[in-house]
Amino acid sequence: MTAVASRGTVARGRGSSPRPRATDRALMRALARALPLLPAILLLAAFMLGPIVYSLYGSLTDRAMTGPRAANPEFIGLDNYIELFGSAEFWNSFVLTVVFVLASAVIGQNVLGMLLAVLVRSSIKPLKSLVSGVVVLAWVLPEIVAAFAMYAFFAKDGTLNAALGWFGLEHTAWLFYFPMLSVIIANIWRGTAFSMMVYNAALSEVPPDLMEAATIDGASAWQRFTRVTIPVIRRSISTNLLLTTLQTLGVFTLIWVMTGGGPGSSSATLPVLAYQEAFKFAQVGYGTAIATVTLLIGAVFSIIYIRALKPEVD
């Protein structure tokens, strides 16, 4: 009995020995496949993760543009963030940033981009080429050129007031009385082309059989769009929302050229406020803290959109 038991133990030991070896071979294969990615990982760490970590450290110092603190900044911990969250000016910029992102990116660019994509796909070819060319022109322009173009459009003696004058309406200082509305419209004008191209490509992937089946079942055009088209292109919508949100969150040149964050601080979003604090008032550490908060806001939006995409990926 003892001999049989010992032989059974040995047999089980022999049978279980290949498992660690198979695991080791799988691990070696995984490492071999990951090895070509090592240069890309190192580059990402050096040029993306590195600046983020350095920025986070800079926000914990009292670095300035001039004086002793420029050469030898001191570590002050969370003092910049404590001062920041106690500042009414910061919360004003925070609210303006959220309004700017929601109005010009989440709603403006995506809704108008989808509308243009649907209209372009259903229009005749000459009109399709004309609309696409005009819309894309605003997107391909350098941001500084687009900013000056919109400044000239909204200026007191600009294009908009000249057009309103044809109808006997009085001139309005749009950039003074309605600065946020002006920059929101300008950002929608510049960024809608990207959303239009994304949705145009997504709509081409909708299976015609589904649309035909919905039509046969008596679904209206609106029902086909909301119950067939939207679910099919849901992933493209989430991806486009993510990209347009992050791009709009970092818009600086457009606002700076058109309003300079003013009048006062009525159009000073977080990127503009960070620039003012760091370079106008020479408080680099404090301005870096504002930029870090902006980065965290972008991360929150990213997590929300990625979670929305997760069911599609799984």
H-type alpha helices, 108-206: 110-122, 125-140, 143-154, 159-165, 174-177, 179-203
Interval 141-179: pLDDT, tens: 888 999 999 999 999 888 999 998 898 888 889 999 999
Task: Show Cβ contacts of residue 250 under 8 Å, excluding neighbours closer than 6 positions.
Answer: 271, 294, 298
Interval 84-143: pLDDT, tens: 999 999 999 999 999 999 999 999 999 999 998 888 887 777 777 777 777 788 888 888
Residue 179, preceding peptide bond in cis (omega within 30° of 0):
no
Q: How far is CA 185 from CA 107, 181, 199, 261, 273, in A?
A: 11, 6, 20, 16, 21
**pTM for this predicted structure:** 0.83
Structure tokens at 291: 């930029």
Please state, as a whole number, how many other Cβ atoms lie within 10 Å of the Cβ of residue 109: 28
How many whole angstroms separate alpha carbon 173 and alpha carbon 65?
A: 35
